[in-house]
Chain A
Amino acid sequence: MITRKETLECDLLIAGGGIGGLQAAIDAANAGLNVIVAEKANTRRSGSGATGNDHFMCYIPEVHGTLEDYWKLLQYAQEFKGGKDRDYVYAYLKESYGVVLDWESYGIPMRPHGDWEFTGHKRPGVQGMYLKYEGVHQKPLLTKAALKAGAKIMNRMPYTDLILNDKGEVIGAVCVDLNGKEPAVQLVRAKAVIISTAGSTLMNGSTTMGWMFNLIGCPACTGVSTASAYRAGARLVCLDGAVAATGASGCKFFNRGGKATWVGLLTDIDGNPSGPFLEKPDWQCGDVTMDIFPQVFRMNNEKGVPIFMNCSEDTDFDLDYMIWALRHEGNGATLSHLKDEGFDFRKHMVEFDYKKGGGGGKGVGIDANADTSTTVPGLFSVGVSSGNGMVGSGPAACTGRVAAKTVAEYVKGREFEDIEDNEVVNKSIELFNTLLSNPVDTSTPTWNEAILAVQQTMWDYMGSGIRSEALFRTGLEHMARLEKKLKTLHCANNHEFMRCLEAINTLETAKLCMTSSRSRKETRGAHKRADYPFTDPKYDGMLVTLQQIDGEPVSGMRPMHK
């Protein structure tokens, strides 16, 4: 039987100590709340911001003018093609200047060259929206700031489920402590819970299926956000947006990191530019072709044309700038590998492609209001845990700040409630005991068998380019049969126990994405239905939702917030 540790108590439990979670922890602790961060790995290097990120989306008044001016830039950059709630985006953009200044005070160089530097991901002659900064040590520095503010960080303690009272309000959460020789149950009594564990990176397979953790985003983000919020009755949004390819581009087979600060021209093998925006490399812009037309890779591949990042015409300054920036965007391993292989920026060019897998950052998850609250009282959602959120360190940190403010108000006057005798707790312990008691031999499946099965199902019945009722029905039947086998997964140690829980949430998230996509009976963007080939105006300005009602998934839609 799994051991049960003494229940912990805090005003605010933050599930996931990535950038959003740590910013929320810093701000909530500074506001006087008693805060616990439950982190699966170690907040010093956990999550997709582990060793830096590709820019920080933020609004700096002295650079951008009014917030409305910044909004227009976003529209012009076609960043919002998929549609985002305007109130949600505004709420965190309003916080971004303050967050950037605070990051400087934590020791993160936000102006490494003296002034605000908005380079990359932009057309020539247009004001940039993404701040270039030195992020390689952002996580250790945010961790330090959170501890200084008084937040308690519990590493190697993944969150697994929410605990609600009879009124449907959050009163705590189930976590698992993996610090000992065997896993232990750690219940946390809390007045509010912020989920900041990001989306599910593992439900869609990598370009290199045999190396499943070769992904753009952190493979430890496996959908506990979406799955646990669904189990607690929260409304989810944009799950139909789950696609096999992330929309991000970068090294074709080496998938850690995205386009980042590659300074060069996107060309074919003969050096002909693939896009219309640049004639020579531009360190201030990068090649914006793949931001605006991510389909440039598919269009060319269908013609038998591979695409490359060609830096052979870069100046010395271009190269120095790019190599400095790539390290701060978490691409240190890419640079080391290229060096080991004898790569020369002047003589060679790197093959680029659309990334597959790791696409939890595309906006697939909890439906969050502009103040980060959800349809479940006491549950708040940050960063890409929200289906209507945006990917990146900036949105993560700024929604973290918004969440901390909202929670500080929410918890006022609330009392702690008993969480020990609760159905969720009993069910969780039953599941943990089952997993721990399954025979560790060839008679039962491993966690990675389960993940591979989910990825194959997602690819063949949802991700291969065409969708239909018959494909969804077939895929969901396969998924239901796989789901029954999840309780037979075996684990030989804490590590495998953690991976088994991840496999369970990965399958649940994949199933919900398929269910939600099935309900969207039209063709729009990457959602191509063979049985509904036309775009239906009834979905214009609408987002597709999914919620558990009386034990069943119920699809719906809501207007995008203006």
Chain B
Amino acid sequence: MPPIINKEKCTGCMTCVTVCPMDCFGEAEQPEGAKYPVVNFPDECWHCNGCVEDCPAGAVSIRVPMPLNMVFVDAPKKG
């Protein structure tokens, strides 16, 4: 949340648009007519990772938003 599309790697196959269970992605069109995916609803990502798993170009990753970042602390020292 939100998913990030690496524009250098993206081939415009739209797999992420197709598979996202939360409908986060949409299609956009470049002036010359080529279509490419965009993240329309970043707040609605569920972190299921389906887009990351399925992207054939490895172009999608997920940035986890700050309210979810308080995940870990130091483990106690051993001995």
A residues sitting closer than 8 Å to B (CB atoms) are: 41-42, 44-47, 50-51, 136-137, 140, 208, 210-211, 213-215, 218-220, 251-256, 269-271, 308, 310, 312, 330, 332-334, 336-338, 340-341, 343, 346-351, 495, 498
Partner of A50, one of B1, B26, B48, B73: B48
- In this complex, the member of B19, B20, B52, B72 whose beta carbon has the largest number of chain A beta carbons within 10 angstroms is B72
Q: When A and B form their complex, what is the total count of cross-chain residue pairs whose Cβ atoms lie within 8 Å?
A: 137
Q: Is the CB of A256 within 8 A of B46?
A: yes
Identify the 8 closest CB pairs spanning chains A and B, nearest first. Answer: A45-B50, A332-B49, A271-B76, A312-B75, A333-B47, A256-B47, A45-B19, A50-B48
Report Cα–Cα, A265/B17, bound state, in Å: 39
Asked if A334 meets B47 with Cβ closer than 8 Å, knowing A50-B21, A495-B40, the reply is yes
Chain A residues with CB under 8 A of B1 = 211, 213-214
Q: How far is the CB of A489 from chain B (nearest CB, A)?
A: 16
Q: Is the CB of A213 within 8 A of B45?
A: yes
Q: Is the CB of A253 within 8 A of B67?
A: yes
Q: Is the CB of B23 within 8 A of A333?
A: no
14 extra interchain contacts, Cβ-Cβ under 8 A, other than A45-B54, A254-B47? A42-B19, A213-B1, A213-B44, A214-B1, A214-B47, A254-B68, A254-B71, A271-B76, A310-B75, A330-B48, A337-B62, A343-B72, A346-B75, A495-B41
Q: Chain B 10-48, CB within 8 Å of chain A: the 1/0 string?
A: 000000001111110010000000000000110111111
Whether B74 is near chain A, meaning CB under 8 Å from some CB there, is: yes
Report Cα–Cα, A253/B1, bound state, in Å: 13
> Interface on chain B toward A: helix, strand, loop, or mixed SS?
loop
Report Cα–Cα, A346/B78, bound state, in Å: 10
Chain A residues with CB under 8 A of B22 = 41, 213, 219-220
Q: How far is the CB of B44 from chain A (nearest CB, A)?
A: 5
Partner of B52, one of A215, A336, A346, A348: A336
Chain B residues with CB under 8 A of A208 = 67-68
Q: Is the CB of A218 within 8 A of B21?
A: yes
Q: How far is the CB of A202 from chain B (nearest CB, A)?
A: 11
Chain B residues with CB under 8 A of A343 = 71-72
Partner of B53, one of A41, A136, A269: A136
Asked if A44 meets B47 with Cβ closer than 8 Å, knowing A211-B67, A343-B72, the reply is no
